[in-house]
Amino acid sequence: MDIKLVVFDVDGVLTDGSLYYSENGECIKRFNVKDGVGLKLLQDKGIAVAIVSAKESEPLSRRISDLGIKHFYPGSKDKLATVHGIAQQLNISMHQVAMVGDDMVDLNVMRVCGLSIAPADAYVRVKSQVDWITEAKGGEGVAREVADRILSLYYDLDEIYQLTTTEYFERKR
């Protein structure tokens, strides 16, 4: 397996899929810090990360900016075309793409990728059609689990995680 790009859906993958609204009608999203570390590690090791979501939100845009993710496509109405475009831009084949999704809208992409992954609590029809189901539920470390598993194909994870606290925080910037 030669994964060069990992694509993540947002709601139900990087979040638990819940929608929280403030008194003012503002949508609030909760993200897992462990997922952020996983996304950064993938990028640090030369594996591109893309976030492709059908929805747009300010909290999501801020989180992606904080993580320095270059390939961010909110409001994508055609995820398959979006992912094909990213693969072309990176000059890789769809077999070098891993897709992490949780619902039916993600399946058309997952069917043509080299590796399809769903969270433990993904929609049952999705879980029945993917290569791998994570132990983590959406919003509870899915991206970190995916990052660890993909990175373990190429690296010794013990070496990656033997950073001093200073090195760790310097790499997070």
- Binding site as annotated, residues for substrate: 11
Please enumerate, by residue number, every residue annotated as part of a binding site.
9, 11, 102
Q: Which helix (H) or strand (E) holds 100?
A: strand 97-100
Query: Which residues, other chains included, contact 19 with Cβ-Cβ below 8 Å and sequence gap of 6+?
Result: 27
Angle at CA of residue 163, ends 159 and 164, nearest 5°: 155
In this structure, the dihedral spanned by the alpha carbons of residues 72, 75, 78 and 84, taken in order and rounded to 10 degrees, is -10
How far apart CA 55 and CA 139 sit, in angstroms, is 16
Strands 115-118 and 132-133, bridge-based pairing? parallel
Please enumerate, by residue number, every residue annotated as part of a binding site for Mg(2+).
9, 102
